[in-house]
Every structure is written in C-alpha cells, then in structure tokens.
Amino acid sequence: MGPTMIISKDLLSQDALLGLIESFINREGTDYGADEIPLDRKVATLKAQVEEGRVVIVFDPVTETPSLMTKEQYRQWSLENGG
C-alpha cells in the first residue's frame, strides 16, 4: 500500500525528528560522489528541507512506520494510488 498520510513536523519532538532523519539517511545510503559528506551535515540539510516543507514526514499505517519523501514524490505517489 505505501505511505498514505503526511504527519506534521510539529507533532514530533526535536529529538524524534532528528532520530527519524538520521534513520532515513542511514537506511537510504545516498551516493554523494567522490566527496563523502559528514552525517551531521546531511542531517542539517535534510532537517532544513523538512522545515521548509520541501520534504514531508509520511506514515505507512500498514507497516506502522514513518519515513520521509520529497513533496513531489508524495504528490506523484498520491496520483498513482488514487489519493
């Protein structure tokens, strides 16, 4: 089924938000090219994107897990799944 709802960042404590961001970064394993970017910089960049609303917190009720998606990814997912 996949993520079906957006969760407001304001519903999470700062610690919970940072934990979600770090978990997402570690789970996704993004390739940044020849220069490795430190975790704290990746976290700061992603947190800023969440604060700006470009990345949203999504919740999958089937797996009962939160994750992150760009707003565009969520919009595309919604279109493909009749949302």
**Does the structure show a pLDDT above 80 at 23?**
yes
The answer to whether 65 touches 14, Cβ cutoff 8 Å, is no
Task: Give the pLDDT mean for 1-5.
Answer: 68
Please determine, for residue 48, whether its predicted confidence score (pLDDT) is greater than 70: yes
57 token code pair: 């917190």
Beta-carbon contacts of residue 12 (< 8 Å; ≥ 6 apart):
20, 57
pLDDT tier for residue 63 given thresholds of 50, 70 and 90: confident
Query: What pTM did the predictor assign?
Result: 0.81
User: Is 31 a residue whose pLDDT tops 60?
Assistant: no
Task: Identify the residue with better confidence: 29 or 50.
Answer: 50
